[in-house]
Amino acid sequence: MPSSNRLFVRLAEGLSALERALMPPACLLCGVENAARDGETLVCPLCRSRWRTVAHPVCVRCGETRTPGEPACRICNWWPQSLGRVRSAVWLSGGARQAVHLLKFEGWWRIAEPMARSMQSLEPLTDQLLLVPIPLGRRRRRARGYNQSAALARSLARMGRFTLAEDRLSRIRETGAQSALAPEARMVNVRGAFEARGVRDRRVVVVDDVFTTGATLVAAAEALTSAGARGVDAVTFARAQGPLGQAVMN
Ligand SMILES: [Zn+2]
Ligand SMILES: [Zn+2]
């Protein structure tokens, strides 16, 4: 073996040993030791099974659980045509909330893998589409080191036959945190915040971590539609519950 190859092998071995050393010995959510070692994932099967799936029937448009015969949906009745269906995998509670927190604020970008796995059978995810993550503003992206929505989109792209299109949507304006704002104020806050390109005649599925009122997704869909997208749906890992999602993190 040429010495450069040997060096490469040694380097690769060194890196995987380092990776094992850095792997937490326990599930990131329940702390049970070795529980998460059933593969590459950081969350044990029991914790994953406790994430509360958003139960059907759901509103055909926004994906909110609803009782048949209920009057018009309060969540999506104001959405413009540009945003089609939105579907979320689980409710933002318990371990799922913890997972979002670890992904967003604790630097555990690899937890995106088990989170994305719970999203992979959501309706909008069919063939021939572009997966476009909601971008962060430059300042926040620099502070966090990565974009959590892009981490989810990247994991989803690995699982399906979707094309990851991370660079098609950008933020042209930094927006303040959405968390403290009422629904109408959220829309004003993000309106015109995005710019899209390279999506003409493509079907796009926007990826985000948490769905709250849809304001961010609507703003993204408006930009993508203006740039010629043929249809824009969205998927999120979690969905905030309650009167227009009081329990939100941004
Ligand atoms: Zn666990
Ligand atoms: Zn709805």
Q: What DSSP assignment string belongs to 42-57?
A: SS-HHHHHHS-B-PSS
CA of 87 to the centre of ligand 2 (A): 10
Of 124 and 23, which is predicted with more confidence? 124
Residue 16 has pLDDT above 70, yes or no: no
Task: Please calculate the CA angle 84-89-92 and round it to the nearest 5 degrees.
Answer: 110
Nearest-angstrom CA–CA distance, 201 and 237: 26
More confident: 219 or 138 = 219
Residue 22: inside a domain = no
Count of domains for the chain: 1
The answer as to whether 34 is a domain residue is no
Q: Determine, yes or no, domain membership for 180.
A: yes
| Mean pLDDT, residues 95-117 | 95
**Range among 67-81, 155-169, 185-199 with highest mean pLDDT value:** 155-169
User: Do the domain assignments include residue 18?
Assistant: no
**Residue 250 Cα, ligand 1 centroid: separation in angstroms?**
25
Altogether, the residues listed in the chain come to a count of: 250
Average pLDDT score, the chain: 86
Cα-Cα-Cα-Cα dihedral of 78, 79, 84, 87, to 10°? Answer: -80
Calculate mean pLDDT across residues 129-134.
96
- Flag whether 19 is in a domain: no
Q: Please give all residues whose CB falls under 5 A of ion ligand 1, grouped by chain where several chains appear.
A: 27, 29-30, 44, 47
- Give the residue from 136, 210, 123 showing the smallest Cα distance to 173: 136
Residue range(s) defining the domain that contains residue 64: 53-239
What are the beta bridge partners of residue 170?
195
Joined together, the tokens standing for residue 179 give 């968390």
C-alpha of residue 159 to centroid of ligand 2, in Å: 28
> What mean pLDDT comes out for the span 153-181?
86
94, part of any domain = yes
Residue 63 has pLDDT above 80, yes or no: yes
Q: Quote the ligand 2 centre to 232 CA distance (angstroms).
A: 16
Give the pLDDT of residue 154.
96
The beta-strand segments (E) located in 138-188 are 163-164, 169-171
Are 239 and 91 spatial neighbours (Cβ–Cβ below 8 Å)?
Answer: yes
For residue 83, being part of any structural domain is answered with yes
Q: Is 7 exposed, middle or buried (0-12, 13-18, 19+ CB in 10 A)?
A: exposed
Q: How far is the CA of 50 from the centre of ligand 1 (A)?
A: 9
User: Does pLDDT of 104 surpass 70?
Assistant: yes
Q: Is the pLDDT of residue 46 over 80?
A: yes
Task: Starting from the CA of residue 84, give the closest ligand.
Answer: 2
72 has pLDDT over 90: no
Q: How far is CA 5 from the centre of its chain?
A: 38
What pLDDT score was predicted for residue 185?
Answer: 77
Closest CA to 204 of 184, 181, 159, 234: 234
Residue 30 is assigned to a structural domain of this protein: no
The enclosing domain of 68 has a CATH number of 3.40.50
At 61, is the pLDDT very low, low, confident or very high (cuts 50, 70, 90)?
Answer: very high
Whole-number pLDDT of residue 188: 76
Q: Which ligand is nearest to the CA of 65?
A: 2
Q: What is the pTM of this model?
A: 0.84
